[in-house]
Amino acid sequence: MIACLRLFTALCLAALLAACASSPSSGLGDLPRTPDASIEQLLEQATQSKDPEKAALLRLSAADLAYHQGNPGQSAQILQQVPVEQLKPGQQIFASTLTAELAMTRNQPKAALTALSHPSLQRLGEMPAEQQVRTGTVHARALEADGQTLAAARERIFIAPMLSGDAARKNHEAIWTLIASLPTDQLQPTTTDDLGGWMALALAVKTAGTLEQQQAAIDNWRKQNPKHPAAIQLPLPLTNLKELASQPLGKIALLLPQDGPLASVGKALREGFMAAHYQAQQAGQKPPAIEFYDSSKLTSLDEFYRKAQADGVQLVVGPLEKPLVKQLSTRPQLPITTLALNYSEGEQGPAQLFQFGLAAEDEAREVSRRARADGLHRAAIMVPKGEWGDRVLKAFSQDWQANGGSIVATERVDQPVQLAQQIADMFQLRQSEGRAKSLQSTVGSQVAAQPSRRQDIEFIFLAATPQQAQQIKPTLNFQYAGDVPVYATSHVFSASGDVNQYNDMNGIRFCETPWLLDANDPLRRQVTAQWPQAAGSLGRLYAMGVDAYRLAPRLGQLKALPDSRVEGQSGSLGMTQNQRVVRQLPWAQFVNGQVQRLPDTPR
């Protein structure tokens, strides 16, 4: 009887091992498969097994089962008991893949990539297609999360022929998302393989201007690459673009205030918007008709949309007033696609709402980007006291620290009389003076000592008015910190042409709209000839009006093509996932009473 039981147990174990193993090729070893057994049963069998290889295989199978059952902690714990280096190459590939998958559940792409650098992965091509797909998928996810977009796309292109059905469709769309997110300067196809074809398609779409030009570019690419996977099945965003092109924009509602405190802002936006409209007419285009609506007399948004629909409006540009934008953002949907000219506080609005404005937060993030590009790591911050300064400080700090920068000091500027003390505190000059006095009392005689400032501040991020900046830069010079670079938002620049004011800010670098930095732009020359105020600080609003017009027909493009941009007068415009238009700006510097454009840095 006992002998029969032993025989039965041995047969069960053999069946269990057969159920959870397969041999891809000689020398690679058996691979675990999801067995008809529980994690506990597998671990018990592993404990009872006299064969170390079979025991390791059972534990590997149990760890994999725990992962697929949504218990990564238990999976990692079991995997630690597996002597990976004693396994055969195929089993090592399996274990390394599972280790990478577990690392990704902890949002640790670098740990995942380390696991996938195991020498056994050199034999991945000998493994069954199912394992190649699994390893390739987690490798692509880790590369993408680590910022290696092109390498992630390569990995997905490699596994694409091994997929079918829904998995193939999802991978196909993921390839396009990755390739389309690459900047144009990285889309330089040098090969004629699938990767080269994907890059050529993205480049063709991104360098075309209008929807019609994009459709022509896509059709031309498909003719040249008829057997490419994207020609056989066009990615969904490009299919959506085709639908957009079949619905040309015929009428726009411009919803801006004509009375009240924002009337002058509305006027500048309207004049910039219409200047771009007339320029399009002069260029021989067929621009949409413009219908004007006064938001300062608005009593009901529902009533406005009913009237706009009755008037045949296909797109609303506006409103400008923040309370109205907030109302729109809380609605589940809008009857007409709307480009609001301000931002709501919430993150996500209805699918029909896009938001665009001259956000100071964009400029704070631009300072962060530029300082990083210039090789700086440690920042001090000076912002005004109050809600505006807090918003700018938060935007800069989040972007700066998320990208590895550190903040060593922060001062909130309020009263001019306090500036000298605040800057001295920031650079710890009082401690230096204290050390000199202490030394003097110790030696009992006069010590000639110039106060020394702290040396860990590499630059100052400054958000301030021209008047504040006029006081801050000379005070920095006086407080032995004149050599510390200052990076500022556009708020330091009045565009007044006041050489004396610029001299007081000598050396300050600041981001600014292309409109105010390029006096020779043909449209700007036309506009400033008719409205001279557009050459001053109001020019930023004229630039925003121009860009609102240029964005109107391209909202669908920006949404459908990740990382695509519109080169505008208020900056280089892109769109976030929550449909907010964000700006990147060029840079200038005050040099001997003049504004000098700085070279652009890679983005």
> Please, which pLDDT band fits residue 297 given cuts at 50, 70 and 90?
very high
464 or 428, which is more confident: 464
The pLDDT value recorded for residue 284 is 84
Contacts of 80 (CB under 8 A, 6+ apart): none
**Summary mean pLDDT of the chain:** 86
β-strand pairing of 337-340 with 315-317: parallel
User: pLDDT tens across 409-458, in order?
Assistant: 998 887 665 666 777 777 765 554 444 344 344 434 443 444 555 578 99
The pLDDT value recorded for residue 435 is 41
**Is the backbone of residue 461 left (phi > 0), alpha (psi -120 to 50) or beta?**
beta
CA atoms within 13 A on the CB side of 249: 24
The pLDDT value recorded for residue 1 is 41
Phi and psi of 522, rounded to 5°? -60, -45
Nearest to 162 by CA among 130, 199, 198: 130
383 sits in which H/E element:
strand 378-384
CA end-to-end span of the chain: 77
Report the percent of the chain where pLDDT is more than 70.
Answer: 87
Q: Which of 70-84, 448-462, 473-487 tops mean pLDDT?
A: 70-84
Q: What is the mean pLDDT of residues 453-476?
A: 85
**Is the model's pLDDT at 285 over the cut of 90?**
no
180 or 486, which is more confident: 486
Q: What six digits make up the tokens of 16? A: 């269990």
CA 470 – CA 58 distance, rounded (Å): 73
CA 143 – CA 110 distance, rounded (Å): 8
User: pLDDT tens across 568-591, in order?
Assistant: 999 989 898 899 999 989 999 999
**Is the model's pLDDT at 554 over the cut of 80?**
yes
Is cis: bond before 237, omega within 30 of 0?
no
**What does the buried/exposed string (b/e) look like for 380-409 if buried means 16 or more CB atoms within 10 Å of the residue's CB?**
bbbbbeeeebebbbebbbebbeeeebebeb
The pLDDT value recorded for residue 68 is 92
The pLDDT value recorded for residue 10 is 40
Nearest to 562 by CA among 337, 270, 240: 240
β-strand pairing of 572-575 with 581-584: antiparallel
Residue ranges of alpha helices (H) inside 403-459 are 419-426, 429-443
The pLDDT value recorded for residue 442 is 42
Report the percent of the chain where pLDDT is more than 90.
Answer: 61
DSSP-derived secondary structure for 118-177: -GGGGGGGGS-HHHHHHHHHHHHHHHHHTT-HHHHHHHHHHHGGG--HHHHHHHHHHHHH
The pLDDT value recorded for residue 532 is 94
User: pLDDT tens across 530-541, in order?
Assistant: 999 999 999 999
Residue ranges of alpha helices (H) inside 539-596 are 539-551, 555-560
> Helix, strand or coil for residue 101?
helix
371 or 442, which is more confident: 371
> Please, which pLDDT band fits residue 20 given cuts at 50, 70 and 90?
very low
Answer for the pair 256, 269: CB distance below 8 angstroms, yes or no. yes
User: pLDDT tens across 494-525, in order?
Assistant: 998 888 889 889 999 999 999 999 989 999 99
529 or 424, which is more confident: 529
Which of 8-22, 401-415, 498-512 shows the lowest mean pLDDT across its residues? 8-22
Beta carbons within 10 angstroms of residue 585's beta carbon: 22
The pLDDT value recorded for residue 451 is 54
> Helix, strand or coil for residue 552?
helix
CA 317 – CA 354 distance, rounded (Å): 9
474 or 157, which is more confident: 157
Domains of the chain, earliest start first: 12-147 (1.25.40.10), 248-355+520-576 (3.40.50.2300), 361-436+449-512+589-597 (3.40.50.2300)
CA–CA–CA angle 278, 284, 290 (5° rounding)? 40
Q: What six digits make up the tokens of 151? A: 């390498």
The pLDDT value recorded for residue 438 is 46
The pLDDT value recorded for residue 415 is 65
Beta carbons within 10 angstroms of residue 550's beta carbon: 20
**Is the model's pLDDT at 14 over the cut of 80?**
no
The pLDDT value recorded for residue 142 is 95
